[in-house]
Structure 1
Amino acid sequence: MRVPEQTSSPRGVAWFRGVEAAGVVEVVDVRTEPERLAEPGWWAVVGDFEGRVRAWRFARTSTGAPSPTGPWRGPDAGAWTSSLDRAAYVSAVDRVREHIQEGDVYQANLCRVLSAPVHDEPDGRALGAVLAAGNPAPYAGGIHVPGEVWVVSASPELFLRVEDGIVTSGPIKGTAVTADAMTDKDRAENVMITDLVRNDLQRVCVPGTVEVTTLLGEERHPGLVHLVSTVQGVLADDVAHAPDLWARLLDATYPPGSVSGAPKSSALDIIAALETVPRGPYCGAVGWIEVRADGSVRAELAVGIRTFWWHDGVLRFGTGAGITWGSDAQAEWAETELKAARLVALASGAEVAPMTD
C-alpha cells in the first residue's frame, strides 16, 4: 500500500464556489501520477501554463466563504512593473502579425506579467475576500498552502467541467467595455478558438457528441464584456473510466486553447520566443476535482486568468490579448490594460468604481 506523500505543512486552505477545504493530506503531480486522482477525495488543482499540474488532497470540506486571518495589505499602486512595457508589447504584437502573414499561425495569445514586492507571505483568503466583494467571478477561488502554493483567482472562464460523464468548456475570446464595442475581429477570434476547443474535446469524447451549445454569447463582468462560447461532449467510455482520466484530458486540451492560440503547437512556440517571463499559474488551470467513494468524478477547472500568485516575496498578475491579422497593436495593449486595471487596483487597496447591473 502506498504511503501518501506528505506536504511540507499540515496546514492549507482552498476555496471555490461556496466550498472551503482545509487540512492538506498530500500533493500529487498530476502529469506523472494521474492515477492518484482516481482515489476518493477532494482535490484542489493548480496547473502552470508551462505544463506542470499539481493537486492537493484535503482532509475536510465545508460550505461557506473562507475566513481571513486579517485584512488584506497589498502593494502600493505605483509598485507594479510589467514584464513587457508598452513599446515591447506593441513590437511583439507586430511580430505575431508577421508570423500570421508568413502562415505560421492564425492566432496567438500574447501576455505580460505584472509584479510588485510583497515580502512576507500574505493570507490568500484576505485577497480572495477583497476580490469577491469588488470583482465577483463565476469561477473565483484560491489555494494557499504555506511554502508550497499561493494562488487567488477571479477567473470568469471555464476550462473543463466534468460531471455525469459530460465534459464542458467555455472559451472566452472578445473583450470590450461594452457589447456594442465588440468588433468583427473579436467575433472571428471567438469562432476560431471555439473550433480549436471543439477539436480538442473530440480527442476524448464519443464521436458525434461534441457540440457548440452557445456561440458568441455575451457575458458582463465588472468593467467589461466578454464573448463566451460553450462546447461540450460525452466522454468516451475508455476515457471516463480510465484510472489516468486526467492525463488523457490534459493531453487533449492543455494548455487551454483560448490562452495559447491556433494552431496550438505553433502558437506555443511563438509565445515562448516573445514573452520574457514564465506565465506560471496564469493561463494555466485553477479549480477542484472531487472523486466520490463509488469512483464517480465531478470537477470544475477554470482557466487561470484574472489570477494572482505569490512566490519568493513577489505578487504577480498576468494580462494578455489574442492577436490575429486584424489586430491593432495599440488596441491590444489597451485591452491588456482594461483586463488588469480593476483587479490590480483592488489588490493595491485603491478605490474602484462600484459595480453596476
Structure 2
Amino acid sequence: MIGYADLAREPEALADGGWWVVVAEFDGPLHAWRFADVHRTGAADAVVRDAKPWHGPAPEQWRSTMSRTEYVAAVEAVRAAVLEGEVYQANICRVLAAPLAGPQPQAVLPDGGGWRPDAAALAVRLATGNPAPYAALIDVPAGPEWPGSWVVSASPELSVRVRDGYVTSGPIKGTAVTAEGLGAKDRAENVMITDLVRNDLARVCVPGTVEVIDLLATEEHPGLVHLVSRVRGELAPGRGGRVDWAALLGATHPPGSVSGAPKSSALRLIGELEPTARGPYCGQIGWLDADAGEARLAVGIRTFWWADQALRFGTGAGITWGSDAAAEWEETELKARRLVGLASTSR
C-alpha cells in the first residue's frame, strides 16, 4: 500500500491517479487505500487455496441493536412520516453482533487494533454457501498514518460501475422467498428508488443520457429473490476529460436504495430511529482505477465487518406507507438467516 485518503475530505487525492480499494461508510468516512501492486487474475484462487477453516460464534451469541418491538416501532414511525409528507420511503436497519474469543485457529498476527480473524476463511465460507455477484474481501491492517478495515461481503447489489465513460447502477428493492411473494408494494418501492437513482446520476451525466435500461427484473439469489432495475448514463467529463470522482461520489453516496426518498429526509429519519451507526454496512465497497477511469462499487449489504472485537452484520428493509411492520421485521430476518448461519459455528 502506498497511500490513504478519506475521499469525503480529500477527493483531490484521486487526481494523482492510481488503483484504490474503497470502503465508504454509510454515515462516516469514505476510506480509500492506494495500492501499487495489483494482481488482476489468479488472486481469488490463491485466497481459496490458502484459507484456513472458519470458526465463527455460536448462533445464540448474536445480539441485535434493535429488538422486534423496537424495530416495529421504528417502522410505524416511518409510516407516520410518510403520512405527514416528510418522506416517501426510508430504509430502516439493525446491526447484529457476536464476540469472537481470541486467539483462535483463524486469528492472524496482532496489529495495532489487536488480533483479527482470518477474513479469507469467512470469504471462502460465504463464496461456497452463498455466491454473490459483487462479493468482496478487504483486510487492511491499521498503520501509523491510516485506519484499517476488515470487511467480507456477499453483496448482490451494484452501486456504481464506471466504464468507457458511462456509469451504471443497479438498485435492489423488493425481497421475497420466491418470485410469487413479490407484491405491489415491492414493485412500487423499486420504481420509487429507481427514479431516485436516476436523479442522482443526472447530477453527473450529460443531459438527456440517463435512462432506465432494465426495470423490475427478478433475480434469484440463494434463499431469496430480488427485484432489480438498471440505470445508465454518459458521464459528463471532468477537468482534462477525466472522471470527476468527487462529483460522482457526492451524487451517489450513500446509495439511494439503502437510504430512501427524498434522500435528505430519509437520512434524517435514519439518524433519529437507528441506535447505532451503520459503518461499512449500506456504504460502498469495491475498487476505483483513477488512471483508467473505471470503478466497481457494490452496495455494502449482506456484509460482515470486524469492529471492537466483535463480528457484525447488518440487515434492514425499505419502509413505505404500504408496509406491514411485522412483515418488514420478517424481511430483515430472511436477509440475515442464511448468511449469519454460514458465519456461525454449530455446537
TM-score, with structure 2 as normaliser: 0.90
How far apart are the structure 1 equivalents of 2:10 and 2:101?
A: 34
Deviation by residue 1:139-181 (Cα, 9 ceiling, x = unmatched) = 0012101231101100000000000100000000000000011
How far apart are the structure 1 equivalents of 2:261 and 2:10?
A: 29
Deviation by residue 1:220-279 (Cα, 9 ceiling, x = unmatched) = 000000000000000012378357x22101211210000000000000000000000100
Deviation by residue 1:196-243 (Cα, 9 ceiling, x = unmatched) = 000000000000000000000010000000000000000012378357
Residue type of the alignment partner of 2:133: P
Alignment partner for residue 81 of structure 2, among 92, 95, 99? 99
After TM superposition, list the pairs within 5 Å mapping 1:303-342 onto structure 2.
303-342=299-338
2:140 aligns with: 145
How far apart are the structure 2 equivalents of 1:192 and 1:126?
A: 38
SS of 2:127's partner is helix
1:110 aligns with: 92
2:257 aligns with: 258
Residue type of the alignment partner of 2:59: A
User: How far did residue 74 of structure 1 move?
Assistant: 1.0
> Which moved further from structure 2: 305-314 or 233-242?
233-242
How far apart are the structure 1 equivalents of 2:11 and 2:219?
A: 34
The count of corresponding residues between Structure 1 and Structure 2 is 324
1:246 aligns with: 245
Deviation by residue 1:56-103 (Cα, 9 ceiling, x = unmatched) = 112322222124452111111110000001010011101110000011
2:266 aligns with: 267
1:198 aligns with: 198
Greater fraction of residues in strand: 1
How far apart are the structure 2 equivalents of 1:34 and 1:73?
A: 38
Residue type of the alignment partner of 1:259: V
How far apart are the structure 2 equivalents of 1:185 and 1:290?
A: 38
> Which moved further from structure 2: 30-39 or 73-82?
30-39
Contact 2:4 2:31 in 1 (8 A): yes
Contact 1:150 1:309 in 2 (8 A): yes
User: How far did residue 190 of structure 1 move?
Assistant: 0.1
2:118 aligns with: 123
How far apart are the structure 1 equivalents of 2:240 and 2:230?
A: 20
How far apart are the structure 1 equivalents of 2:340 and 2:2?
A: 33
**Residues 248 and 184 of structure 1, relative CA distance in 2, 3 Å threshold:** same
How far apart are the structure 2 equivalents of 1:313 and 1:179?
A: 39
SS of 1:341's partner is helix
Residue type of the alignment partner of 1:41: G
Residue type of the alignment partner of 1:26: G
1:30 aligns with: 7
Is 1:52 aligned to residue 29 of structure 2? yes
How far apart are the structure 1 equivalents of 2:280 and 2:174?
A: 22
User: How far did residue 39 of structure 1 move?
Assistant: 2.9
Where does the alignment leave 5 or more consecutive residues of structure 2 unmatched? 103-115, 143-147
Which runs of 4 or more aligned residues in structure 1 lie more than 6 Å from their structure 2 counterparts after TM superposition? none
Residue type of the alignment partner of 1:132: A
SS of 2:316's partner is strand
User: How far did residue 339 of structure 1 move?
Assistant: 0.2
1:161 aligns with: 161
2:174 aligns with: 174
2:106 aligns with: none
Where does the alignment leave 5 or more consecutive residues of structure 1 unmatched? 1-23, 352-357
Residue type of the alignment partner of 1:159: S
- Give me the CA root mean square deviation: 1.5
> Which moved further from structure 2: 27-36 or 41-50?
27-36
User: How far did residue 38 of structure 1 move?
Assistant: 3.2
How far apart are the structure 1 equivalents of 2:240 and 2:260?
A: 27
> Which moved further from structure 2: 25-34 or 107-116?
25-34
Percent of pairs with identical residues: 63
SS of 1:301's partner is strand
Residue type of the alignment partner of 2:338: R
How far apart are the structure 2 equivalents of 1:312 and 1:329?
A: 31
How far apart are the structure 2 equivalents of 1:51 and 1:146?
A: 19
User: How far did residue 350 of structure 1 move?
Assistant: 4.5
